[in-house]
Amino acid sequence: MVALSAMPLIALDAIVLDTETTGLDVKTAHILEIGAIRLSRGRIAEGEVLHARIDPGVAIPASATAVHGIDAAALVGAPRFAEIWPAVDAFLDGHLIVGHSIGFDLAMLRREHVFAGRVWTPPRSLDTRLLTELVEPRLPDFSLETVASYFGVAVTGRHAALGDATTTAEVMLALVPRLAAIGIRTVAEAETACRRLPEALEAQVRAGWVEPVSAPGEREETLARIDSYPYRHRVREVMSSPPIVASSDITLAAAVAIMAERKVSSLYLHAPGADPAAPAVADLAILTERDLLRAIAADGAAALAGPVSARMVGPVVSVPAEAFLYRAIGRMNGRRIRHLAVTDEEGRLVGALTARDLLRLRANEAAVMGDAIGAADDVPALASAWRRLPGLAASLLAEGVAAVQIAGVVSREIGALTGRAGALAEARMAAAGEGPPPVPYALLVLGSGGRGESLLAADQDNALVFAHGDPDGPEDGWFARFGGHVADILDGAGLPYCKGGVMAKNAAWRGSVATWLARTDGWMTRSRPEDLMSVDIFFDLRCVRGEAALARDVLAAARGTAAGRPDFLKLLAEAGGGGSGSPLGMFGRLKTDGGRLDLKKFALMPVTAAARVLAVRHQLDARSTAERIAALRERGIGADADLARWAAAHGLMLSFVLDQQLADVVAGRPLDAMIDPKRLASDRLAELKEGLANVAHVDDTVRDLLFS
């Protein structure tokens, strides 16, 4: 349920269906013809069609034949419904069903199931007639001919099942960008929006049709139970370190001796004369046990006397040390390899990871999500990979994985998605003749994505640092266009534009190193509300593509300046959540807004801001809120009991928000950090109130610690 509800319309996987019948009264008519075509990743799947004519077992009225041209002679030798249904059912295969006035077709399928003595299970469906009314309610009518004409879709084979299914598929694809323009991007959002057309729905129900957007039932588990270890631990915890590196001018026999002595199954090789200390992975090759076996199988013992350069393999496939293990599993499975180099943020070799290291970890379909993002070659492919995230989060939560760890997984994938968008943006610009990046750059994610604390309501928060260039200069012009492509790709893939404009396409969020140094200094000097908000999320940056050193230098300078400005940090803490007050009223009652409680305002933001400013004040090199609080406790900054309560409350509030967001995904409700306390059992409600009480005075504590 979660995965289908979260499916982006731009990457729709569905079956478009149409039927021709003996009449329009669903109480008496029978199906004569079924036509269906498949949509895959938001495109019509070439050649994947189903067409079948069916003997209804009754006379066909002349009035019906006049519409679709099917008479008794056309059905000689045709099977009955019960005979043909297994093949139709296999083609539908549990997919979302799309049709124009699809409630009629579903009602006919239900009727035929009853006659055939079969159990009818209504599928999830979308009705292009209803969706069109959402987009353009002023059309004179919503017949397929009128709608197709309005969208510029050619109508062929009208009143033939396969022809109408094809026309409907083209209409559905034309609807997708128009629906996105009014904020409807997923299947559940489309269903929810259609429920706001009561007159149209009531007319269909009165006619005896199946309601095409019936409310979804209880959330089902969309993934099998999984081993949660790969989603809770990072590559650096499992990798072998230091990796074994040698010069590529040695013999194969010398390489074997090194591997045997060091008891490793792979050897990394650098160019003769290069510095072997923390080399860049891009400059390395690898020799594995399998390469040795192939060499000996081909040339026997004589192979050992040959140069290792003749047997080594490059380029080396790598994974960041900070990546979660499931990404390493997906990369190995996707590339069919058994060894990965492990890199730091600068792409330097810091470790090695083998299939043996992961032997006890079970990978499943969900584990390849990260590699699917990395391999995506267009926006629908990115959207198709990204849509798996809510289902994965639901399964991890059911497995007992802490919400703070799930947020880490979500954030890493936001980084991966943004990095891949950067790669696709570069390719777009190259194809348009604009050439490669004019200078080195770093593409950054900011805010919760940088901290590793994003959940399912994330939008874009990204920025660009490039090596040099003046504002409005040629370098800036190139990166402005690049940033625009990145934003458009991410929005199309399902990570919407930032409402506050925090995107590299906007001049305020890109610039050279010099520009950023002046900008951050200005933020801290002026301390205007908008400046405080900007520097707030900037302190959480993480590089996801390009030269990480550029971002690190700017961040280090900004942190250094801020550390000596406790007055500025006090304002920053207050802007980030201090003074929000408490939603706990008299007798412990919760003060809600429209029945919902804003946990970002009353709990998450105050703790996050407090941990951030104290980490900056004391020059602690930590990024996430949990890591910052742990570092404060280790340094003895503040009362340990208070800090422990902050950390516990932060994790608890993330769990409440995630659970609510998963419910809202299914319901097609916009996602945010607002929760409905009425959903909570009494013990969970008590936990919520205790957590809120534990962070009610965070701002007072921060003030004391900043000036102590």
Percent of the chain, pLDDT > 90?
A: 66
Which is nearest to 318 in space by CA: 235, 247, 411, 405?
235
Average pLDDT, integer, range 16-28: 95
Cα separation, 616 vs 548, in Å, equals: 20
Per-residue model confidence (pLDDT) at position 312: 94
Q: Give how far the C-alpha of residue 608 lies from the chain's centroid of Cα atoms, to the nearest Å.
A: 23
432 or 5: which carries more pLDDT confidence?
432
Read off the pLDDT of each residue in 447-453 and give the average, rounded to a whole number. Answer: 94
pLDDT mean over 471-491:
96
Residue 40 · residue 28 · CB < 8 Å: no
Give the ranges where 46-101 is alpha helix by DSSP (H).
62-68, 81-92
pLDDT at 394: 85
For the entire predicted model, the pTM comes to: 0.77
Q: Poorest-confidence range of 104-108, 329-333, 494-498?
A: 329-333
Residue range 90-114: mean pLDDT, rounded: 94
Residue-level pLDDT at 417: 95
pLDDT of residue 359: 63
Is residue 542 within 8 Å of residue 415, measured between CB atoms? yes
Q: What is the DSSP string of 357-407?
A: GGTTPPP-GGGGHHHHHHH--SHHHHHHHHTTHHHHHHHHHHTT--HHHHH
Cα(360)–Cα(379) distance, integer angstroms = 35
- The mean pLDDT value for 475-481 works out to 97
Tokens 């799309």: give the residue: 98
- Which range has the worst mean pLDDT, 215-224, 304-313, 501-510, 543-552? 215-224
Q: Which of 315, 324, 321 has its CA nearest to residue 352?
A: 321
Mean predicted lDDT score pLDDT of the chain = 89
Lowest mean pLDDT among 38-52, 349-363, 584-598, 647-661: 349-363
Residue 362 pLDDT level (bands cut at 50, 70, 90): very low
**Sorting pLDDT into bands at 50, 70 and 90, what band is 471?**
very high
Fold that domain 229-363 belongs to in CATH: CBS-domain (3.10.580)
Q: pLDDT category, 430, cuts 50, 70, 90?
A: very high
What pLDDT score was predicted for residue 142?
A: 95
The pLDDT of residue 466: 97
pLDDT of residue 336: 82
pLDDT at 367: 56
pLDDT tier at 213, thresholds 50, 70, 90 = confident
Of the given ranges (171-175, 197-201, 458-462, 600-604), which has the lowest mean pLDDT? 197-201
The CB-side HSE value for 271 (13 A sphere, CA atoms) comes to 5
Percentage of the chain exceeding pLDDT 70: 95
Sheet-wide strand order for 31-40? 43-53, 31-40, 14-21, 96-99, 125-127
Beta bridge partners of 287: 267
Measured distance CA(94)–CA(123) in Å, rounded = 7
Average pLDDT on 573-599 reads 80
pLDDT of residue 249: 93
Q: Is 306 helix (H, G, I), strand (E, B) or coil?
A: coil
Phi/psi for 269 (5° steps) reads -125, 130
Give the per-residue pLDDT at 202. 86
* Average pLDDT of span 233-253: 90
pLDDT at 319: 93
- Residue 215 is predicted with a pLDDT of 52
Most confident of 120-134, 227-241, 360-374, 559-573: 120-134
In words, the CATH class of domain 2-206 is alpha beta
The rounded distance, in Å, linking the Cα atoms of 106 and 104 is 5
Residue 384 above 80 pLDDT?
A: yes
The answer to whether 565 touches 611, Cβ cutoff 8 Å, is no
Is the pLDDT score of 436 beyond 70? yes
